[in-house]
């Protein structure tokens, strides 16, 4: 059966909406071979169906290294971050792969790539952002960032291990918060109480330390050396506070279990001899005698963090063409054309059969700052709520003083922004060329518009209705976060410009 292909035509009648899949692939090859990266990106990202991406990925797998770089760059600049990440990873471009993975919400693989690049702290941040808190803690600990490791373990729900590391980081307040959360059902409860008592004494809260130690002693008497240590510490605190009778009771509990425990017999003799207050000591909480020390957490056992392996030289990697990772989010700045193309792609032996639909006006929508952080798939989802509209010369697009109805992005034609005075006269504020947009504030606030916008000539535009926008944001939390963050950045920049102009 013969297959009829549609010729690609950007004429105003059909708007170039349909094009054979084979034609798309052929044109992409030609654009890349000629170094026409911008044209290749515009063509690739404006195709609705996934067919083109799958075909191009198949070509990538069989291509030479220079061709792979060209295709990887195309994926990257088109915001097809998932394929870009895989392509950059295969090329050994670990930094670029990490950024692409982060942009597509795959923080675990982003962390893996940063680790291979040698950016261990950045890798830990990515693991933490992706919910891999223990893996992040392992890296932080190896990098001697004890506070960050403790914070990661706190997020992992391991209050005991987090408290140990906060103690090592000398953050007593956080250590106390964590250790106080360890309940009697926890297998390390006794250790936690001992550590907590030490922290509370350092913080000057001996009263709380006494309460915790007393509550941890079993009513039926002491049965093991760990609990005996708590009884001994309680006795020392009470003795130092001048509470000889209560100190004697605590020491007696310990002596009943083990008469030879530390210097408990000497303590009892002194108290019985009338020494109602203990001599000052540098610290009342020393090591636990024959048991494991409470003061030095065994991270491998307690925090389930493996011991740090011997340091190895970082793997030799290609130069990262996309620069360093500026932040954990690492979303902005990803669309720069940076990969060297090398030799042109080889022609494929087969041409895919079928057709794809293009998205007219996508290229201007992509330029809006509001959508700068969105992936290709997110942009396509946003495009689906757009309406194709047109305005005749002189037609009012937005009326001053009326509630805004949505965002209008001009694809073709010019718009004029005017201020309508009380007498009906208009003062021209701006003349906007194709690619500009108006009405974006109507998407986030319900106030009358401050100016009139009308068409100077025939204007063809994309419109995002306010109600559809609100529904879409409500149903897509991740996209909403990125869009609203861009709103804030845009408004902040405008405010800075206004203040500078005063």
Q: What is the pLDDT of residues 137-177, one digit of tens each?
A: 999 999 999 999 999 999 999 999 999 999 999 999 999 99
The domain defined by 364-501 carries CATH number 2.60.120.10 = yes
Q: Take residue 432 and report the two structure tokens written for it.
A: 């906007």
pLDDT tier, 17 (very low <50, low <70, confident <90, very high otherwise): low
Position 37 pLDDT exceeds 90: no
Neighbours of 427 (CB within 10 A): 10
Residue 279: predicted pLDDT: 66
The mean pLDDT value for 340-358 works out to 46
Position 491 pLDDT exceeds 90: no
The mean pLDDT value for 321-338 works out to 33
Query: How many Å separate Cα 359 from the centre of its chain?
Result: 30
Residue 294: predicted pLDDT: 34
pLDDT tier, 49 (very low <50, low <70, confident <90, very high otherwise): low
- Helix H or strand E segment including 264: helix 264-272
pLDDT, tens digit (0-9, with 9 covering 90-100), for 399-450: 998 888 899 999 999 999 999 988 778 899 999 999 888 988 888 888 888 8
Residue 355: predicted pLDDT: 58
Residue 214: predicted pLDDT: 92
pLDDT tier, 219 (very low <50, low <70, confident <90, very high otherwise): confident
pLDDT, tens digit (0-9, with 9 covering 90-100), for 65-122: 998 999 999 999 999 999 999 999 999 999 999 999 999 999 999 999 999 999 999 9
> Hey, what long-range contacts does 431-436 have (CB within 8 A, 24 or more apart)?
431/456, 434/364, 434/410, 435/364, 435/367, 435/409, 435/410, 435/411, 436/409, 436/410
Task: Give the chain's mean pLDDT.
Answer: 80
Q: Taking Cα atoms as reference points, which of 40, 48, 109 lies closest to residue 75?
A: 40
Q: At what angle do helices 107-117 and 133-142 cross, to 10 degrees?
A: 20
> What is the C-alpha separation between 212 and 198, in angstroms, rounded?
11
Residue 349: predicted pLDDT: 41
> What is the C-alpha separation between 25 and 52, in angstroms, rounded?
7
pLDDT tier, 6 (very low <50, low <70, confident <90, very high otherwise): very low
Position 134 pLDDT exceeds 60: yes
Identify the sign of the CA torsion 36, 41, 43, 44: positive
pLDDT tier, 186 (very low <50, low <70, confident <90, very high otherwise): very high
């Amino acid at each position: 059966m013969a297959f009829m292909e549609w010729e690609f035509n950007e004429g105003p009648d059909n708007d170039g909406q349909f094009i054979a899949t084979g034609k798309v692939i052929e044109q992409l090859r030609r654009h890349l071979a000629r170094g026409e990266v911008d044209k290749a990106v515009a063509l690739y990202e404006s195709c609705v169906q996934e067919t083109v991406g799958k075909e191009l990925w198949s070509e990538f797998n069989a291509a030479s290294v220079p061709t792979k770089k060209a295709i990887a760059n195309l994926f990257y600049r088109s915001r097809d971050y998932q394929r870009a990440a895989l392509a950059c990873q295969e090329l050994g471009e670990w930094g670029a792969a990490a950024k692409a993975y982060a942009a597509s919400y795959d923080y675990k693989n982003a962390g893996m790539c940063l680790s291979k690049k040698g950016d261990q702290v950045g890798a830990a941040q990515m693991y933490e952002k992706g919910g891999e808190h223990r893996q992040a803690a392992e890296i932080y600990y190896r990098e001697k960032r004890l506070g960050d490791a403790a914070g990661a373990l706190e997020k992992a729900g391991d209050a005991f291990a987090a408290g140990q590391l906060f103690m090592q980081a000398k953050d007593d307040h956080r250590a106390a918060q964590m250790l106080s959360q360890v309940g009697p059902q926890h297998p390390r409860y006794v250790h936690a109480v001992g550590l907590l008592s030490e922290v509370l004494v350092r913080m000057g809260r001996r009263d709380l330390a006494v309460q915790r130690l007393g509550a941890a002693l079993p009513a039926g008497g002491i049965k093991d050396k760990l609990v005996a240590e708590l009884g001994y510490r309680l006795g020392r605190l009470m003795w130092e506070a001048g509470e000889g009778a209560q100190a004697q009771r605590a020491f007696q509990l310990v002596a009943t279990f083990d008469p030879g425990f530390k210097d408990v017999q000497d303590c009892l003799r002194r108290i019985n001899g009338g020494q109602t207050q203990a001599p000052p000591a540098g610290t009342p909480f020393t090591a636990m005698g024959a048991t494991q020390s409470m003061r030095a957490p065994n991270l491998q056992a307690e925090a389930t963090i493996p011991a740090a392996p011997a340091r190895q030289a970082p793997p030799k990697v290609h130069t990262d063409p996309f620069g360093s990772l500026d932040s954990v989010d690492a979303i902005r700045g990803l669309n720069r054309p940076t990969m060297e193309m090398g030799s042109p792609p080889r022609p494929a032996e087969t041409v895919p059969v079928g057709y794809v639909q293009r998205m007219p006006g996508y290229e201007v929508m992509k330029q809006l700052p509001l959508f700068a952080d969105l992936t290709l798939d997110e942009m396509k989802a946003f495009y689906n709520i757009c309406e194709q509209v047109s305005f005749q010369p002189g037609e009012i697009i937005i009326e001053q003083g009326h509630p805004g109805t949505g965002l209008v992005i001009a694809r073709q034609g010019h718009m004029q922004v005017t201020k309508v005075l009380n007498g009906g006269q208009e003062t021209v504020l701006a003349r906007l060329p194709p690619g500009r947009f108006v009405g974006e504030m109507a998407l986030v606030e319900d106030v009358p518009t401050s100016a009139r916008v009308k068409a100077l000539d025939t204007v063809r535009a994309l419109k995002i209705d306010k109600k559809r926008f609100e529904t879409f944001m409500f149903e897509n939390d991740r996209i909403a976060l990125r869009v609203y963050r861009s709103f804030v950045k845009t408004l902040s920049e405008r405010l800075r410009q206004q203040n500078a102009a005063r």
